[in-house]
Amino acid sequence: MNNQSFSPLSAAEMAVIWKQYMNDKAISCMLKQFLCHVDDLEIQKAIQGTLHITTKNSDALTAIFLKENMPIPLGFGEEDLDAEAPKLFSDSFYLLYLKHISNVLLLSATTGVDVAARNDVRSFFRSLLLKAEKLNQTITDLLLEKQIFIELPPIPIADASDMNDKELFLGSYFDEKRPLTVIEISHIVSSIQTNLIAKDLILGFAQTAPSQDIQAFLLKGRELVQQHIESLSQPLMVENIPVTMKWDYGVEKSSVPPFSEKLMMFHLAAMITENVRGYGLAMSTSPRLDLALNYTNFTTEILEYAKEVSRISIEQGWLEEPPHIPFPKIHLE
């Protein structure tokens, strides 16, 4: 018999299942509200399929928590959404949001498979990986069918001999810059896509947040995201690569809050995490120095904003701590 089925959870396993549970509960709240207002039947079916995955995830992870005598995270529930609130986002945004979520599920499943040693945890993440991949394909097909999929036109490819100057290949921040590689273009486009979704999500949250302080803070974040989109688009425009990834039709006019501010701030923190991860990957695979410096600056700016997200969440009592090592006991003489 494999003793890995009965060994205590490692710190890495605790981390991935705790984070997965929190994300699934938050996503489920969003999707339940979307289901109350979606008009397109195919998008409705995609939302239902995604909600089925996140709900089953929560049930499976709850069983693991109980087996380990671990406290079940509070997460999010019915108190964090108002299903009767008017529609806040368009059907097109729903589908783009689902695409983002399917990518998040794929990444978290891959990470879980990588770090888990215990059979039940590995089995959970292997199953999630298969479901997330199928979901991603379904949503991508829908985006293509409805002509919402964000893609760039084909570009001409230079001969390999055109880039044999090492200094030119690395470039500098001020001097003449070589053309972008397809890897660099791919990461720029991916970062713009993430920021566009974040921009509309933050706008929807800002116009429905009950607190004026939270509204102002969210709008500050939206302005930062817009600055990043403009900076990311600049290298593409220099290369005459059409930047056709702008949409401003994702948010409806409602000012009635469908989500709690606690859920809004958690979702904002999750989007920041995705942005930081994307910027880090882009920086590590973009040899052009000006691009690497831009990604470094973006990361610094967004982490400063993330600090404020954490501060507000702590002050409001919204931040739920993940499992951690006990604080050392202080012995007084």
* pLDDT tens figures, 131-171: 999 999 999 999 999 988 877 767 777 665 555 555 555 55
**Whether pLDDT at 298 is above 90:** yes
pLDDT tens column, 244-284: 555 556 899 999 999 999 999 999 999 999 999 999 999 99
**Pair 214, 312: CB distance under 8 Å:** yes
| pLDDT score of 330 | 56
The reply to whether domains 9-145 and 165-315 share a CATH topology is yes
Computed on alpha carbons and rounded to an integer, the radius of gyration of the chain in Å comes to 22
- Identify the CATH number of the domain defined by range 165-315: 1.20.1260.10
Res. 333: pLDDT tops 90: no
Q: Per-residue pLDDT for 237 more than 80?
A: yes
- Residue 161 has which token pair? 């001999």
For residue 3, give the DSSP letter: G
| Per-domain boundaries in the chain | 9-145, 165-315
Question: Of 105-119, 161-175, 195-209, 300-314, which range is least confident?
Answer: 161-175
Q: Distance (Å, rounded) from C-alpha 95 to C-alpha 103?
A: 13
By CB neighbour count within 10 A (0-12 exposed, 13-18 middle, 19+ buried), where does 269 fall? middle
Contacts of 94 by beta carbon, 8 Å cutoff, 6+ apart: 34, 38, 43, 47
- Contact in structure between 125 and 109 (CB atoms under 8 Å): yes
DSSP state of 85: S
pLDDT band at 1 (very low <50, low <70, confident <90, very high): very low
Mean pLDDT of 33-54: 97
Class of domain 9-145: mainly alpha
The predicted structure's pLDDT at residue 64: 95
Which of 90-99, 243-252, 317-326 has the largest mean confidence? 90-99
| Its pTM surpasses 0.85 | yes
The mean per-residue pLDDT over the stretch 42-71 comes to: 96
CA distance 286 to 191: 13
232, burial (CB in 10 Å: exposed 0-12, middle 13-18, buried 19+) = buried
Is the distance from CB of 72 to CB of 136 less than 8 angstroms? Answer: no
Confidence grade of residue 289 (pLDDT, cut at 50, 70, 90): confident
More confidently predicted of 165 and 196 = 196
Q: CB neighbours (10 Å) of residue 192?
A: 21
The yes-or-no verdict on residue 234 having pLDDT over 80 is yes
